[in-house]
Amino acid sequence: ERNESLDSFFWGIIDNQPIINNFKNPEEIPTKTKLSEQISKTLKKMGFKFVGPTIIYSFMEASGMVNDHLVGCYSRN
């Protein structure tokens, strides 16, 4: 058992700074990354279920940990 919140766990991995990607085409956006694979493995060791690397990457995008809005997108900033 850990003495930190899930929020602290996730944001601590990226030093509390979102990852800003600079993709120009939708095809460039990955469905998973090495980081999401590492997080997935860690969470599985902690007993979490249904935390594959694709789900984790989607969570990272949805929670603002990763900004994959395309360069020029009105939602990027």
> Which residue positions form the known binding site?
69, 73
- For the annotated binding site for Zn(2+), the residues are 69, 73
Contact 51, 60 (CB under 8 A): no
The crossing angle, in degrees rounded to 10, of helices 6-13 and 34-45 is 150
Structure tokens, 75? 């939602």
